[in-house]
């Protein structure tokens, strides 16, 4: 794991599956299993990036109550993940990728601040084991088409496929397959109710 408040050294860049010419990740950042992460030329990732390509979470199994350990298998905590970020991608602050299978971002994508991309989710199948101790699910791949723009605060969920030159609006929670040149946005905010003050 690379967790730093200083820029990557050339030696640390060599730990990645690929780290392109002119690419940069501004500190601070947290990179889990960089050998599973492939970054293209001239990629710019701003501060507070969390790139988590999960490989082995068997340490979580150790915390499970002995009465329930038999309900899980260590293989459920191992993953073959891969994160690919194409060339000339621009990514804003507070970016988070959670990957247990595959997340691929095409070329020339713009990603605003506070964006989450996850191909997986926590398991919550066991009623007596804390969710944080249960294995993450094997992810369903996420693919972002080249030339797309992801608005601030958006979340791209497991199985999302975006065509090229697609726009994702601010605060959208996105799941599904979308064609090229799509514009996707959340419902506008609406009044849910007005709480009346208690009578005097």
Calculate the CA dihedral of residues 142, 35, 92, 116 and round it to 10 degrees.
40
Positive or negative: CA dihedral 190, 112, 122, 176? positive
**Cα(59)–Cα(123) distance, rounded to whole angstroms?**
16
**Active-site residue 35, yes or no?**
no
**Cα(72)–Cα(28) distance, rounded to whole angstroms?**
35
> What's the Rg (C-alpha) of the chain?
19
Catalytic residue among 35, 52, 122, 126: 126
Strand order across the 24-25 sheet: 24-25, 44-45, 90-91, 110-111, 149-150, 167-168, 183-184
Residues annotated catalytic, as ranges: 126
């Amino acid at each position: 794991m690379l967790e730093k408040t200083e820029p990557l050294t050339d030696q640390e860049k060599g730990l990645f599956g690929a780290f392109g010419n002119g690419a940069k990740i501004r500190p601070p950042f947290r990179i889990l299993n960089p050998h599973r992460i492939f970054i293209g030329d001239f990629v710019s990732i701003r501060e507070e990036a969390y790139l988590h390509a999960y490989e082995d979470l068997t340490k979580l199994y150790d915390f499970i109550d002995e009465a329930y350990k038999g309900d899980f298998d260590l293989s459920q905590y191992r993953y073959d993940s891969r994160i690919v970020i194409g060339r000339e991608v621009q990514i804003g602050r507070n970016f988070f990728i959670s990957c247990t299978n595959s997340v691929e971002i095409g070329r020339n994508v713009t990603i605003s601040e506070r964006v989450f991309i996850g191909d997986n989710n926590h398991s919550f199948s066991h009623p007596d084991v804390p969710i944080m101790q249960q294995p993450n699910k094997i992810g369903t791949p996420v693919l972002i088409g080249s030339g797309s723009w992801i608005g601030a605060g958006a979340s791209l969920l497991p199985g999302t496929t975006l065509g090229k030159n697609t726009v994702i609006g601010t605060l959208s929670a996105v799941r599904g397959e979308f064609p090229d040149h799509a514009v996707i946005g959340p419902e506008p905010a609406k009044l849910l109710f007005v709480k009346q003050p208690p009578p005097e």
